[in-house]
Amino acid sequence: MTELGLLVTQLFNGISLGSILLLAALGLALSFGLMNVINMAHGELLMMGGYVAYLAYRLPIGPWRLPAAMLAATAGTAAFGALLEMTIIRRLYGRPLDTLLATWGVSLVLQQGARSLFGPVGVGVTAPAWLDRSIPLRGIGLPGVGLPVVRLLIIGLAAAVLAALALLLARSRWGRLLRAVQDDRDMAEALGVNSRRVDLVIFTIGTAVAGLAGAALALIAPVTPTVGQSYIVYAFLVVIVGGLGSLTGTVLAALAVGLLSASLQLFATVSTADVLLLLVVMAFIQVRPRGLITRLSRALEEA
Amino acid sequence: MRRAELTAHAIALGLLVLAPWWLSPYDLSLLGRFLAMSILALGLTIVWGWSGLLSLGQGVFFGLGAYALAMNLKLAALAPGDLPDFMVWSGFSRLPWWWVPFRHPLVALAAVVLVPAAVAAAFGWLVFHRRVRGVYFALLTQALALAFSTFLVSQQAYTGGFSGLTNFGPLFGVQLADQKGQTALYGVTLVLLTASYALATWLSKSHFGRLLVAIRDGENRVRFLGYNAAPYKVAAFTLAAAFAGLAGALYVAQVGVISPDMVGVVPSIEMLIWVAVGGRESLAGAVLGCLLVNFGKDWVSSAMPSLWLFVMGGLFVLVVTVLPRGIGQLVSVRVPRRRPAEVAPAAQELAGQ
């Protein structure tokens, strides 16, 4: 493999990692920006999506198995997310650090539950044959380099989800309500917006995205009870770097963290890259403590 | 302190002092290590309960203290000139330079407190002087815990990697694993816990302690009064880290092993439940919660290992939603003398939101 080939591969890996991080972080960023809630169980919702996809994928329905698995993962996780919001998160409104701890408790229960149900060994979704190959780049002068179709699919999925969300926020009624509540909760309520219902809908959408991300992850790596944990800290870093609940910021941050992590791995081991990544994020918040994209506000402080 | 409180403290201390005579050696060894962890819990009360800084990375400072002492104990087990086994496997012929000072027990003992404090001060200054707070701070400390544990695992040649450090030699000529060494360590732990407790109690009544609470409840008001909040937060975070380092060293001396899975993300957050169960603002609650949760964990895990995570997860949810002031809320019917914590958001709103 040539040096250029290696570079292209890492670049592609970075974008691929970035799109997974984006799918994982979108729900976090949404609920953090709107409700000031940090959902520590978000990684476990990813895991849940993976397991639901694994179960649905075993249905004997031929070529529809893959879309069915993705749909089931999205819907199942969304239902659980709605339940979580109604039972626990709603009670802790205005106490962000307490939601963090309570959802951490939920994540422990979900992890151990998955371990009891499915065992500690990972299960996987075997990608169908048309996904399980790569597109060679020999034609454009990069012999030995190939782009795996699965990862292309995930990048496409992330782009589609992002487009759908952007459209939802910009054009739909719920999007308008969301922006109203995010800008000024009290004023929106005074104008008759049921802000609690907006919270519920947005939180559920966030968890649905997590479920879809989990199903996508199941295609490229085995689903284990702890799979959520391996992504969640990076997803949080994405939220920090991206800024308070801004979609653009989240997208930029996900790509930046993904590319940075992949390019650090060019000359350092995976774990050293982790440490360096944290150092870079620490340096970054020295410059922009509120993240890449911040909302203009006259308030003295936010969050 | 009122008389009833003083009596309760005296009885508790008396029971702990006499514990070697009324507990079995196994229970005493458990109590010893849980008391060591209580010192860390006191630090969490200061940094989380009083200052409102939710640190998800106390395991890092616990680990730094533990590794500092463990390095000395590891070297003490070897003949002069020999290298620890994991270094030999990695083909080292000389001790890495930063291991060398830890040959001297006094240097190692100083490092137990100074290294975690220095790391916390640097991290805290970087974060707080840019007024990063709340959830952002919590997530950054979590990333710190992740980075620290992956670093320990990856640098196997220097840190013993995944299996950590064990097979220790004597400290000041005392074999720590002996019955005598263990009893001595229990005594040292109890003395240091009492001293930390006294220091924290004094701080809670001091100007410094009151400012921490004021910053938690209305940082902007404190700033408008002319204070810079950042140094106070850095000081609280640093003190908590020093407590955690001390706890880590006492723990490793009693247990005889330290490994990365005791200092990562999961154990760091587990430490919060000790304080949350006891009531996050109360020093007595921190010690009591730490003992209760850990004895409970030992009991549940030995009866049914898979049950513990369910119990702990349930505890987190329950304590936060139903008992935000800990178990004290169950027994105490007295009206709290402080303003309840629910007032705080309103105060912040007044201050500028």
In a domain, residue A122? The reply is: yes
Chain A interface test: which of B269, B309, B325 (most A C-beta within 10 Å): B309
List chain B residues with CB under 8 Å of A96: 134-135
Q: Measure in Å the smallest separation between the Cα of A245 and chain B Cα atoms.
A: 13
Q: Check B140 against A240: CB less than 8 A apart.
A: yes
Q: Check B136 against A233: CB less than 8 A apart.
A: no
**pLDDT tens readout for residues A181-192:** 888 888 888 998
- What is residue B203's predicted lDDT score, i.e. its pLDDT? 92
In a domain, residue A298? The reply is: no
- What is residue A302's predicted lDDT score, i.e. its pLDDT? 47
Q: Is A38 on the interface with B (CB under 8 A)?
A: yes
- Residue pair A195/A185 in contact (Cβ under 8 Å)? The answer is yes
Residue A188: helix, strand or coil by DSSP?
A: helix
User: Given B131, B266, B272, which is nearest A101 (Cβ)?
Assistant: B272
Q: Check A240 against B139: CB less than 8 A apart.
A: yes
**pLDDT tens readout for residues B9-27:** 888 888 888 888 888 888 8
Does the pLDDT value for residue B348 go beyond 60? no
Chain B interface test: which of A271, A287, A298 (most B C-beta within 10 Å): A271
Does the pLDDT value for residue B224 go beyond 70? yes
Does the pLDDT value for residue B278 go beyond 70? yes
Q: What's this model's pTM, rounded to 2 decimal places?
A: 0.85
Does the pLDDT value for residue A196 go beyond 80? yes
- The count of structural domains within chain A is 1
In a domain, residue A102? The reply is: yes
In a domain, residue A76? The reply is: yes
In a domain, residue A256? The reply is: no
- Residue pair A27/A89 in contact (Cβ under 8 Å)? The answer is no
Q: Check B276 against A115: CB less than 8 A apart.
A: no
Does the pLDDT value for residue B65 go beyond 60? yes
pLDDT band at A44 (very low <50, low <70, confident <90, very high): very high
Does the pLDDT value for residue B214 go beyond 60? yes
In a domain, residue A26? The reply is: yes
In a domain, residue A56? The reply is: yes
User: Given B309, B320, B345, which is nearest A102 (Cβ)?
Assistant: B320
Nearest CA in chain A to B271: A101
Does the pLDDT value for residue B300 go beyond 80? yes
User: Given A97, A278, A300, which is nearest B352 (Cβ)?
Assistant: A300
Greater model confidence, B63 or A276: B63
Does the pLDDT value for residue B4 go beyond 50? yes
Section B34-61 average pLDDT:
92
In a domain, residue A169? The reply is: yes
- What is residue B231's predicted lDDT score, i.e. its pLDDT? 93
What is the ipTM score, two decimals?
0.80
**pLDDT tens readout for residues A235-279:** 888 888 887 767 888 888 888 888 888 888 777 777 777 778 878
Burial pattern A16-32, b for ≥16 Cβ within 10 A else e, equals bbbbbbbbbbbbbbbbb
Greater model confidence, B86 or A46: A46
Q: Is A101 on the interface with B (CB under 8 A)?
A: yes
List chain A residues with CB under 8 Å of B123: 282
Q: Is A129 on the interface with B (CB under 8 A)?
A: no
**pLDDT tens readout for residues A162-171:** 999 889 888 8
User: Given A92, A109, A272, which is nearest B313 (Cβ)?
Assistant: A109
A194 is in which domain, residue-wise? 3-228
- DSSP code at position A279: H
